[in-house]
């Protein structure tokens, strides 16, 4: 019995034949499935507000110069790929993700880091979804995304069906948490025999005129797809790519300046909880739509941080344009400017720059001497360094 990731987020979880003791009627078993409905009085105001913020953000970003706008897009897409994978417990290498995106978009970021196949696959899916948002979403395209996510045909140590719908060969598909023998079932997907016709209905709706706002369509597409749960694994990541694709359609632009996946990662517990409540409820999607719009609003807040980093980075390199720095120094300084987590020490420098500890220390002392780096006042057991505040 294959044991996959135990998280109620839209990934495939555990395939098991045991039913939850607190079994309930999931929405895909309702007689009116998949006729979602919602309270327009409760959703119209937050929808109008987030639509207004979308327009303002795009206007601000378009007013930036080409190079700064390109940097903001690269930063956002990198966050999107990293955080969508992180939600599922998959930690990708940031430099590989950034390099893969830059190469595919023809951006010049200096030396590129070779990317592994799983990184390339995730980047390929996300860029296809957002850069080609205006193309129809069909079965073949989804199969391609799924195959890109699992190039070796495995999820962890388990072999899975790749580039095709699941078959439930080991029993019903469950999303569970908890230790083996004491699992809690959060959700049971439709039986595999239904998946083909369920996906045909979903794709016809997604590609056709639905008479609703495109942002609402993004929210419903995410919910509908993970409820069908068509693949052995990867459903959560593909659902978020579909939502990003619909959001790009809503803006009529492939340029991404905010990351829904980064915000969902920050609100991971709430994300799981609202999905579970909705999938065990009725076809009233008001609660899910409200949460999705709120999450989108907060993701747009996060774009302010992205813009701040981009402008800070541009100012930094303008101020130090005449400095003669080696490639290791430029690489680590860019990492600091992009938002380095934790304290920068000589050992972390050595790991990032792939050099010896002695070389790292010489690089750091050189930058301290130029007043580009400052030794932190409270180093503890190991001395740490930060970028010098230009106002100090």
Q: Is 238 annotated as a binding residue?
A: yes
Last residue within a domain, chosen from 310, 341, 371: 310
Q: Do residues 74 and 317 touch, judged by C-beta distance below 8 A? A: no
Is 317 domain-assigned? no
Same domain, 301 and 347: no
As annotated, the active-site residues are 229
Q: Side-chain half-sphere of 203: how many Cα atoms within 13 Å?
A: 15
Whether residue 323 is contained in a domain is answered as: no
Residue 74 and residue 105 in contact, taking contact as beta carbons nearer than 8 Å: yes
User: Per the domain annotation, does 316 fall within a domain?
Assistant: no
Last residue of some domain: 310, 342, 372?
310
The pLDDT score that the predictor gives to residue 337 is 85
Calculate Rg over the CA atoms of the chain.
23
Is 103 annotated as a binding-site member?
no
Q: Where is 185: in which H helix or E strand? A: strand 184-188
392 vs 26: CA distance, rounded Å: 59
The CATH number of whichever domain residue 375 belongs to comes to 1.10.10.10
Residues spanned by the domain of 334? 328-387
Is residue 206 marked as binding? Answer: no
Number of Cα atoms under 13 Å in the Cβ half of residue 234: 32
End-of-domain residue from the set 245, 279, 310? 310
- The pLDDT averaged over each successive group of 10 residues in the chain (392 residues) is 36 38 73 96 97 91 82 92 94 93 88 88 97 97 97 88 90 79 83 97 95 96 97 96 97 93 95 95 96 97 81 81 90 84 88 92 94 82 83 59
pLDDT at 313: 79
Predicted local distance difference test score (pLDDT) of residue 270: 96
The answer to the question of residue 7 being in a domain is no
- One domain for residues 190 and 280: yes
Residue 239 marked ligand-binding: yes
How much is the pLDDT for 14?
A: 35
pTM: 0.80
Whether residues 249 and 174 share a domain: the answer is yes
CATH code, domain with 207: 1.10.3290.10
Whether residue 182 is found in the same domain as residue 126:
yes
| Residue 67, in any domain of the structure | yes
Residue 102 has φ and ψ, to the nearest 5°, of: -60, -45
C-alpha closest to that of 288 among 339, 243, 334, 350: 243
Residue 94 sits in the same domain as residue 204: yes
Domain count, the chain: 2
Q: Are 170 and 160 in contact (CB under 8 A)?
A: no
Return the C-alpha torsion angle 66, 71, 73, 79, nearest 10.
180
């Amino acid at each position: 019995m294959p044991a996959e990731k135990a998280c109620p987020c839209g990934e495939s979880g555990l395939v098991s034949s045991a039913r939850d003791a607190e079994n309930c009627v999931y929405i895909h078993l309702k007689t009116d499935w998949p006729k979602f409905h919602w309270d327009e009085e409760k959703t119209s105001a937050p929808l109008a507000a987030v639509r207004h913020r979308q327009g303002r953000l795009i206007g601000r970003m378009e007013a930036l110069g080409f190079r700064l706008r390109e940097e903001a897009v690269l930063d956002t897409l990198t966050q999107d790929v990293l955080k969508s994978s992180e939600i599922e417990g998959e930690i990708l290498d940031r430099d590989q993700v950034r390099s893969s995106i830059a190469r595919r978009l023809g951006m010049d970021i200096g030396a590129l880091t070779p990317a592994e196949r799983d990184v390339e696959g995730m980047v390929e899916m996300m860029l296809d979804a957002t850069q080609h948002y205006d193309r129809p979403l069909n079965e073949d395209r989804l199969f391609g995304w799924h195959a890109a996510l699992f190039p070796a045909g495995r999820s962890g140590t388990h072999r899975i069906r790749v580039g095709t719908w699941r078959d439930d060969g080991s029993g019903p598909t469950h999303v569970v948490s908890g230790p083996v023998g004491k699992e809690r079932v959060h959700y049971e997907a439709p039986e595999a025999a239904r998946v083909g016709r369920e996906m045909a209905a979903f794709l016809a709706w997604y590609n056709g005129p639905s008479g609703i706002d495109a942002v609402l369509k993004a929210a419903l597409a995410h919910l509908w797809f993970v409820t069908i749960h068509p693949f052995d694994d990867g459903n959560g990541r593909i659902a978020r790519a579909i939502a990003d694709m619909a959001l790009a359609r809503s803006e009529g632009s492939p340029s991404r300046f905010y990351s829904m996946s980064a915000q969902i990662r920050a609100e991971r517990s709430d994300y799981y909880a609202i999905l579970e409540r909705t999938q065990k409820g009725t076809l009233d999607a008001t609660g899910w739509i409200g949460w999705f719009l709120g999450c989108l609003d907060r993701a747009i807040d996060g774009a302010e941080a992205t813009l701040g980093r981009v402008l800070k980075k541009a100012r930094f390199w303008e101020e130090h344009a005449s400095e003669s720095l080696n490639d290791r120094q430029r690489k680590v300084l860019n990492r600091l400017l992009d938002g380095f987590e934790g304290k920068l020490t000589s050992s972390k420098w050595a790991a990032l720059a792939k050099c010896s500890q002695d070389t790292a220390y010489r690089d750091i002392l050189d930058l301290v001497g130029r007043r580009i780096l400052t030794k932190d006042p409270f180093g503890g057991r190991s001395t740490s360094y930060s970028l010098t505040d230009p106002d100090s």
